[in-house]
Amino acid sequence: MKFELDHTAGARIIRSYGPGEFTVGEQRVHGSIVLAADRIIVDLLPEDITELDAAHLEQLCALQTDLIVIGTGRRQIFPPHALITSVLSRGIGCEIMDTAAACRCYNVLLAESRSVAAALFAIR
């Protein structure tokens, strides 16, 4: 049996999600969150995806990851095109999906040692 080093040790893996909360590692967090491999940010996102603006995306870009995954809640809701274009023009990838899919996508990318952040709106 071949063993490989676990690059996700200490990383912020999403263990579960449900209405209004996430379990990240051993920590339960209520409300919307932003995750990167080395941090959890609980006060960056607005209450609802429809309130996401350029200032929020500026802070997400400041995390200096190669990709930002945005989970929009129970359903996939696309923010205004100009907002996403502002991220893409910096050479940062941006994917929009419902929060359940975003959680799975983030975990897979993190396990692959990819430079990724997730902005996850709570499922209501």
Distances (CA, A) of 62 to 37, 65, 74: 14, 8, 26
Tokens at residue 46, please? 């607005």
Query: β-strand 67-71 against 116-120: which pairing, if any?
Result: parallel
Distances (CA, A) of 28 to 1, 52, 56, 113, 117: 34, 24, 23, 23, 18
Q: How confident is the model at residue 5 (pLDDT cuts 50, 70, 90)?
A: very low
113: left (phi over 0), alpha (psi -120 to 50) or beta: left
Tokens at residue 19, please? 């209405």
Closest by CA to 95, choosing from 117, 75, 112, is 117
> The whole model's pTM is what?
0.91
The Cα 100–Cα 4 span in angstroms is 28
Q: Using the predicted structure, report yes or no on whether residue 6 has a pLDDT greater than 60.
A: no
Residue ranges and CATH numbers for the domains of the chain are: 14-120 (3.40.1230.10)
Q: Using the predicted structure, report yes or no on whether residue 1 has a pLDDT greater than 80.
A: no
**Mean pLDDT across the stretch 85-98?**
97
Please write the tens of the pLDDT for every residue from 7-66.
Answer: 555 568 999 999 999 999 999 999 999 999 889 999 999 999 999 999 999 999 999 999
Distances (CA, A) of 91 to 17, 64, 94: 30, 10, 9
Residues across the chain: 124
